[in-house]
Amino acid sequence: MALTKIRAGGVSSIPATSFPSGAILQTKMVQGTNSVSGGTSATKYLTSAAAWNDTEQAVITLTTIKANSSFHCFYSGFMYVEDGTADGNINTMYAYIGHSTSSGSGYTYGDALPSYWDARSGNTDTPNQFQCPVSGGDIFSLSHAAETTLYFSLKGVFTRTGSGEGQSVIVHEVSA
């Protein structure tokens, strides 16, 4: 596969094999505006429509440009905590980024991106509700042919928390 470059005077093709190791070949991003209610204890998945759902599915789909590239995946969002639910508990949100060659299942998830609010002492001394940032990423080095379709999922595991608006998932394909 070649990348097409448009410039004044014409169009030229750049073979994907000519990119040096570490070059970003493509980037895909989903930015969400939906939230999960505070006080939730459940596993949810961010959809490509940027809404949280109960069904495991792809949030980003891409067709690889180069064989055996790596994928730098980033998540940024907010854990949402409500005062009445939080009191007396450790309240957590774990975000996991996964990849698969099937859109609906078989995802392999990376390390957790944790966020927590420790309110075991009782009153959280917070407003009625607040949001804590959650961010991080994973790097996946995968064996695949060029033009392979890959699917990326974001799983959120909530314990007495929710997710505020403003979630984003970014996947970069990086030349090996």
pLDDT, tens digit, for every residue of 124-145? 555 556 677 888 899 999 999 9
Give the pLDDT of residue 115.
Answer: 86
List pLDDT tens digits, range 58-115: 999 999 999 999 999 999 988 888 777 777 788 888 999 999 999 888 999 998 888 8
Asked whether the predicted pLDDT for residue 166 surpasses 60, the reply is yes
List pLDDT tens digits, range 7-26: 455 444 566 667 888 999 99
Give the integer Cα–Cα distance in Å for 89 and 161: 11
Give the pLDDT of residue 151.
Answer: 96
Asked whether the predicted pLDDT for residue 164 surpasses 60, the reply is yes
Asked whether the predicted pLDDT for residue 148 surpasses 90, the reply is yes
Asked whether the predicted pLDDT for residue 122 surpasses 70, the reply is no
**Residue 56 or residue 3, greater confidence:** 56
**Residue 164 or residue 174, greater confidence:** 174
**Residue 131 or residue 155, greater confidence:** 155
Provide the CATH topology of domain 21-174: Jelly Rolls (2.60.120)
Please, what's the b/e burial string for 110-125 (b: 16 or more CB within 10 A of its CB; e: otherwise)?
eebbebbbebeeeebe
pLDDT interval class at 161 (50, 70, 90): confident
Query: For the chain, which residues make up each domain, given as ranges?
Result: 21-174
Please report, for residues 5, 25, 45, 159, 160, the alpha-carbon distance to residue 150 in angstroms, rounded to integers and kept in the order given.
24, 15, 17, 30, 32
pTM, full prediction = 0.84
